[in-house]
Structure 1
Amino acid sequence: MLTFYHAPQSRSTSILVLIEEMGIADRIDLREVSVVRPDGSGGPDPRNPHPEGKVPYLTDGDDHVHERGAIITYLTDRFPETGLGRPVGHPQRGAFLSWLFYYQGVMEPVLVLDWAKIEHPILQATFRYLDAVFARLSEALHGQPYLLGEDYSAVDLLLSSPFQWLPEARPEQPALRAWIARCADRPALKAVMARERTGVPV
């Protein structure tokens, strides 16, 4: 059975939302663990098998998966009938994977650097500017409601996720704000966020 290691109100929450969106919670053993928080609270949890004590972490027998993009790919490939991914052979498979890797390799580093107020020409040449990231998203959303077209997918979930936690980071572009609002209005996201705010067990 798949086992998912999760810490409430952390990066792993987006994977919990994905599981809810896919309707596969009954096929996954959820293990809630503690992690070291940015404010210094929390701490390592011996129950968490992640080699760095982080989340999210997914195990499937002897196999294991870490990093959100990889976990999203693994789950959507494992359960293609849910429609949140793009399986091998799908005409949007390349676009699906590209957005997942773009988030991990470009968008999140740029957002973190902007939040930390760190600027350096090498960093900006490597990861791009925040305005360039927003321009790329705006271009992709031109004439369509979601990044891959008319239908919401796991890439919308992942790439909109930081703005659900950090409203002050939301871009000014109307098209991007409308897309973030559409993603925030998903029943799965609302349900998971409400449970995590109140501490109700999943």
Structure 2
Amino acid sequence: MAQVPISAIVLAGGAGRRMGGQDKGLVKFHDLPLVAYVLARILPQVDEILISANRNLDDYRALGYPVVIDALDGFQGPLAGVLAGLHAAHHEWVLTVPCDTPQLPADLVQQLAAPLLRGHAEIVVASAGGRTHPAIMICARRLADDLGKYLAGGGRAVHAWQARHRTATIEFPDAAAFINVNQPEDLSGRLN
């Protein structure tokens, strides 16, 4: 775990359009839902886990973690789930990860938390292989009010909201750790 308590929000509230409307977190990979792999990766790294979901709520609750629901209707994007999680989290620092990234690094929180502990950032975002992963971040819970205003004003882009704050990026060496499952063929062709 990091040197400060960290809450985590697993973002599982999307519409799954590229997966034919399937709930991506519940799509099976080797007999387990994708979200189970994400939970296993982050469990040793954080002090609290919340799942942000908008459907199949009983299936997510059965995983044993509190489920939060977007305050905004109609699948408004990952920031709506982040906002719901920030309001429900018990710790000042909050990790967010998508439910479809089953190979996250074992040192994700340790690496992302370093700039926070030095007071250099309010948000720290993961990057790998020259690509930034805006939905994989640690941010300050106190940013919830600003995020609510951003969403109320029609903002939806994660990177644009992050740019409003002191943001740092941490480069990870293994791009494969950040592969996300967007289409059914990703389950067989891109994951280890």
| TM-score (structure 2 length as normaliser) | 0.30
Give the strand-richer structure, 1 or 2: 2
Which has the bigger relative contact order, CA under 8 A and spacing at least 6?
A: 2
Give the helix-richer structure, 1 or 2: 1
| TM-score (structure 1 length as normaliser) | 0.29
